[in-house]
Amino acid sequence: MTAAAVDYPRLAFDLIDEFDRLPTADQVMQRMSTALAKFGYSSFVISGMPEPSQRIEPYILLNGWPEGFSKLYIGKNYYPDDPVAALCRRSVDPFEWSEARYDAERWPRAAEVMNSAADFGLKEGFIVPVVRGNGFQACVTMAGENPDFDPLAKRAIHLISLYAHAKAVALLGVYGRKPSSAILTDRERDVMAWIAMGKSSWDISVILGISERTVNWFIARAIRKLDAANRTQAVVNAIRAREIQL
């Protein structure tokens, strides 16, 4: 799949709109699996990211790994030695699994984790960290034989993943808070709507006839009110809360 052949932003927004109508977590998992397959991913997981001393099982929200790999990962307690998870706990930006570098000689268990994943067809992956306003860390991670790493594809996956995580949290009733009505002011909604359309702070300042500094002030307020860690997550939360529309 190439950027020239796919309207990645439209694909992401259409999927978000569809997610919003799904009533169960199982349906979210099935639809997410179908959507990620279009990008070359065969499996995914949505999970919280506890400290390495803790077990990962209680934090898994949606488990779409191959059953054999999931049993192996949990049975051998691979989480503390998973180099992708280790980098995710220190990151706020999405990254490819290959960016989680490690020394196989000094950290043989990390090599074992990654080799085991490859044995189950999880050869290349991508992970989206999810950092909530209260500091809680989670992730949406996915892998396959030969996924699409086009920059536009990764941006679409970033947005889709944040929304899928938020939807899973809402349906499963875990550590999330239900968005209340009228979270944002009218001006904050205007700013977030333009961000959703890909505009920069400077672009928005010109469109709305206000200073760039004021735009950034509105953005910071919206991020805080929406319990988000960055602009992208704030857009997702604003859409879910019906503060803005696509």
Q: Which pLDDT tens digit goes with each residue over 164-219?
A: 998 998 888 765 444 445 688 888 989 998 988 888 999 999 988 888 888 999 89
Mean pLDDT of 56-70: 92
Examine the domain organization and report whether 16 and 55 are in the same domain. yes
**Residue pair 143/84 in contact by the 8 Å Cβ criterion:** no
User: Over the chain, what is the mean pLDDT?
Assistant: 88
Examine the domain organization and report whether 150 and 210 are in the same domain. no
* CATH, residue 219: 1.10.10.10
Cα separation, 63 vs 59, in Å, equals: 10
* CATH, residue 56: 3.30.450.80
**Residue pair 52/90 in contact by the 8 Å Cβ criterion:** no
Q: What percent of the chain has pLDDT over 90?
A: 54
Mean pLDDT of 124-150: 89
Examine the domain organization and report whether 116 and 228 are in the same domain. no
Cα separation, 78 vs 72, in Å, equals: 8
| pLDDT of 5 over the 80 cut | no
Examine the domain organization and report whether 115 and 190 are in the same domain. no
Predicted local distance difference test score (pLDDT) of residue 240: 76
Domain that holds residue 200: 186-240
Structural domain total, the chain: 2
**179 assigned to some structural domain:** no
Q: Which pLDDT tens digit goes with each residue over 75-131?
A: 999 999 999 999 999 998 999 999 999 999 999 999 999 999 999 999 999 999 998
CA angle, residues 73, 78, 80, in degrees to nearest 5:
145
